[in-house]
Amino acid sequence: MLPVYAALIAGAVLFSFPLLWLVLTALKPIEQTMVFPPQFVPKAYYAEVEGRKVEVVLGPKVEEPSSWGEVIAGPQAGSRVLVSPDAKADPNFRWIKDVPAGWRVVTERGEKLSAPGSGAADVVPPEAIESRVKLRWGNFPTALAMMGGRSLEELEGTAPSVNSGEDARAGFPLFLANTVIVCVLGVLGAVFANAIIAYGFARLRWPGRDALFAVTIATMMIPAAVLMVPLYGVFKSLGWIGTLLPLWAPAWFGSAFNIFLLRQFFRTLPEDISEAARIDGCSEWRIFWNIILPLSTPALAVVALFHFLFAWNDFMGPLMYLTNKRSFTLALALQEYQSQHTGVQWQYLMAASAVTILPIIVLFFFAQKTFIRGIATTGGKG
């Protein structure tokens, strides 16, 4: 059994590390995301500088004891530099003070710590630096505000707002609301429409039923790419481009996969209960609504869950149909944010990603059994 456990644990580390890394990065200040070797735990550093103990940011490492001084001649005149102690003899250099090997530090707000007016960060020996775990939860509100299109400078109050007019009202709360609308209306449609349709296929007899069902199954083989261009045309002629409608309204007209899934479930319910209700004079709609639906909650939950997951995660749909930032869903807003801040501020990008992932993780823990059963019995949605 030992090799099995070893393999399971190795697998678990590999599979869970990326998400852990996402959370750890989201909770770090920027400079701790860019150190090499990487720093795993977000930390705060404290140093005693000139008699006060302050939180500091570690700058570059100074390997040898050195001297701070000011260049007094040449094109660099006036700048403060860190040089080896031998440079004291250099006539172009005015010595200020000796510093030990250690880390250059500035305060968390970026204030320089050395003697006033020296204009250079101080150097603190490693033994004088204390560290404690500190999680920067403040990255989250900043990241969400930036997702809404605000710049970091604007958030710090050092630059005026660049957004004006319509876009100024687009922000994380609106993106979240749009996503929830698409998910909730889509889930309601998917559950009710597919249940009604599947009932018609599973428990009623009418001419052409089996032929239409065969056509329904056949349409599952058509790749989305084939439908993409004409669907865009359909939504355009309906005037839906730029609205959320293309993302949820089609769910109210059924989908082949869900019809198939619910039909299979409805067929497992005994025909006798329907017959008994018919003899009592129940209408077909009442049999469906009052008898069959309550018995089918496990299957309906699978449909609801998969549709929610699809709608929350969908990217191509919003990319095609949402033209105005005020109608963006979270997935599209996250991509838009990333595309405008490439390669920097990973902690904010990870924080914004974590916020997009969190509801799905929470949903998983509440509906774990439905997830596993749904995938196991249907093979998932592919």
Partner 1 sequence: MKPRSLQQAFTGFGFIGLWIIGLGVFTVYPVLASLYYSFCDYSILQKPVWIGWENYHNLVRDDLFWKSLWNTLFFAAFSVPLGLVVSLALALLLNCEVRGRAIFRTLFFLPSIVPIVASSMLWLWIFNGEHGILNYALTPVFQLWGGMPPAWLGDPAWAKPALILMSLWGVGNSMIIYLAGLQGVPKELYESATIDGAGAWSRFWNITLPMISPVIYFNLVMGIIGALQVFTQAFIMAGGPAGNPSRSTLFYSLYLFSTAFYDLRMGYASAMAWILFLIIALLTWLATRAAGRNIHYSN
Cβ-based neighbours of 56, under 8 Å, separated by 6 or more: 45, 46, 47, 49, 105, 106, 107, 108, 113, 124, 129
Paired residues of 107 in beta bridges: 56
Verify binding: residue 200, partner 1, rule CB under 8 A.
Answer: yes
Verify binding: residue 222, partner 1, rule CB under 8 A.
Answer: yes
Query: Which candidate, 355, 364, 339, 360, places its Cα nearest to that of 173?
Result: 355
| Sheet-wide strand order for 93-99 | 80-83, 66-71, 93-99
How big is the chain by its Cα radius of gyration, in Å?
Answer: 31
C-alpha 269/C-alpha 203 separation (Å) is 10
C-alpha 116/C-alpha 178 separation (Å) is 52
Judged by CB under 8 A, the number of residues near partner 1 is 93
Nearer CB in complex with partner 1: 162/228: 228
Verify binding: residue 298, partner 1, rule CB under 8 A.
Answer: no
Verify binding: residue 304, partner 1, rule CB under 8 A.
Answer: no
Tell me if 19 sits within 8 A of 68, measured CB to CB. Answer: no
Identify which range of 31-39, 125-133, 149-157, 270-278 contacts partner 1 by CB under 8 A: 31-39
Site for partner 1 in 229-288 (CB under 8 A): 229-234, 236, 250, 252-256, 259, 284, 288
Among 45, 199, 248, 265, binds partner 1 (CB under 8 A): 199
C-alpha 333/C-alpha 180 separation (Å) is 14
Site for partner 1 in 88-107 (CB under 8 A): none
Verify binding: residue 82, partner 1, rule CB under 8 A.
Answer: no
Verify binding: residue 211, partner 1, rule CB under 8 A.
Answer: no
Verify binding: residue 214, partner 1, rule CB under 8 A.
Answer: no
Verify binding: residue 369, partner 1, rule CB under 8 A.
Answer: no
Could you give the string, one character per residue 316-355, with x where binding to partner 1 holds by CB under 8 A and - elsewhere? x--xx---------xxx-xx--xx--x---x--xx-xxx-
